[in-house]
Amino acid sequence: GMTRDDLFNTNASIVATLTSACAKHCPEAMICIISNPVNSTIPITSEVFKKHGVYNPKKIFGVTTLDIVRANTFVAELKGLDPARVTVPVIGGHAGKTIIPLISQCTPKVDFPQDQLQKLTARIQEAGTEVVQAKAGAGSATLSMAYAGARFVFSLVDAMNGKQGVVECAFVQSQETESPYFSTPLLLGKNGIEKNLGIGKITPFEEKMVAEAMSELKASIKKGEEFAKNFK
Q: Which of 16, 94, 99, 206 is catalytic?
A: 94
Residues 107, 13, single domain; the answer is: no
* Cβ proximity of 121 and 112 under 8 Å: no
- DSSP-derived 3-state class of residue 154: helix
Q: Which domain holds residue 49?
A: 4-62+220-230
CATH, residue 193: 3.90.110.10
Residues 96, 189, single domain; the answer is: yes
Residues 17, 77, single domain; the answer is: no
Residue 70 half-sphere exposure toward CB, CA atoms < 13 A: 27
The model's pTM is: 0.96
Residues 80, 181, single domain; the answer is: yes
Report residue 81: phi and psi, to 5°: -105, 170
- b/e 141-169 (16+ beta carbons within 10 angstroms → b): beebbeebeebbbebbeebeeeeeebebb
User: What pLDDT, on a 0 to 100 scale, did the predictor assign at position 134?
Assistant: 93
* Apex 188 CA angle, 186 and 193, nearest 5: 70
Residues 74, 49, single domain; the answer is: no
> pLDDT tens across 132-170, in order?
899 998 888 999 999 999 999 999 999 999 999 999 999
Residue-by-residue pLDDT tens, the chain, 232 positions? 677 677 898 899 999 999 999 999 999 999 999 999 999 999 999 999 999 999 999 999 999 999 999 999 999 999 999 999 999 999 999 999 999 999 999 999 999 999 999 999 999 999 998 998 999 988 889 999 999 999 999 999 999 999 999 999 999 999 999 999 999 999 999 999 999 999 999 999 999 999 999 999 999 999 999 999 999 8
> pLDDT tens across 176-188, in order?
999 999 999 999 9
- DSSP-derived 3-state class of residue 54: coil
Residues 184, 73, single domain; the answer is: yes
Residues 86, 137, single domain; the answer is: yes
Domain total in the chain:
2
Residues 135, 209, single domain; the answer is: yes
Nearest residue to 36 (alpha-carbon basis) of 107, 96, 82: 96
Residues 89, 124, single domain; the answer is: yes
Active site residue 25: no
Q: Count of CB atoms within 10 A of residue 79's CB?
A: 13
User: What pLDDT, on a 0 to 100 scale, did the predictor assign at position 1?
Assistant: 67
